[in-house]
Chains A and B, each alone.
Chain A
């Protein structure tokens, strides 16, 4: 009787783990979907407020540099997750640290842009620019904070090749932040005459 109960329990957990992971995945993607509506509203507001206008003195070089930094950080984040999937903890930590540094550099770049911008937050374009980059930067900062936590846990032996949902979810969030910038960058820097 006890053996049968134990067998049943074992079967139950064998099936519960994949289901829980599937639910985690779906929950995360639903979270991304809800966030997308927020970012899409800001993107729509940018065109509603200013059409396709943008200021003449926009720091295009800085925009391209911070965009490249964020794209590069997606590669290092991807490699960090791949390393953990392989059980390569050193590679995971190395790539995650690179991602954290690149994320921090991105935030510094946005801060520099805010400090040197030749337009005011009171202008329609400035309202859009500061709202969009501000909300995005807050997501970058929270992503960096989560990656620091994951790095700290990973350095202490947490996560393994068979169990790394915390790593996967954090890195997916980082990629999502990158996807948002893929649309914000042309909308803020490249569209306009």
Chain B
């Protein structure tokens, strides 16, 4: 398994990604409720949120690496 998923740095990364996800969700909600639903803006924010999860939480880059190989 990759060492990038270990230690205090991993915990900090988790909180940082969660903070971004929370901020983007609140922005989505505020835009939709106050300004009015903006499909392109919501789509872009959705893609950014998905990319954050897929890259940092799901470690998509590991899909091409075996055990013990570093990211």
Contacts and interface: CB of A to CB of B under 8 A. Distances in A.
A71 B25 contact: yes
Interface stretch (A2-10, A81-89, A104-112, A113-121): A81-89
Contacts of B7: 86
Contact of A19 (B6, B21, B50, B66): B66
Interface residues of A, number: 43
A192 interface: yes
A155 interface: no
26 contacts: A17-B66, A17-B67, A18-B66, A21-B67, A22-B64, A22-B66, A25-B62, A26-B63, A52-B39, A67-B25, A68-B25, A71-B25, A75-B14, A78-B56, A78-B57, A82-B6, A82-B10, A82-B14, A175-B57, A178-B57, A179-B53, A183-B50, A186-B43, A190-B28, A190-B31, A191-B32
Interface of A: 17-19, 21-22, 25-26, 28-29, 52, 60, 64, 67-68, 71-72, 74-75, 77-79, 81-82, 85-86, 161-162, 164, 168, 172, 175-176, 178-179, 182-183, 185-186, 189-193
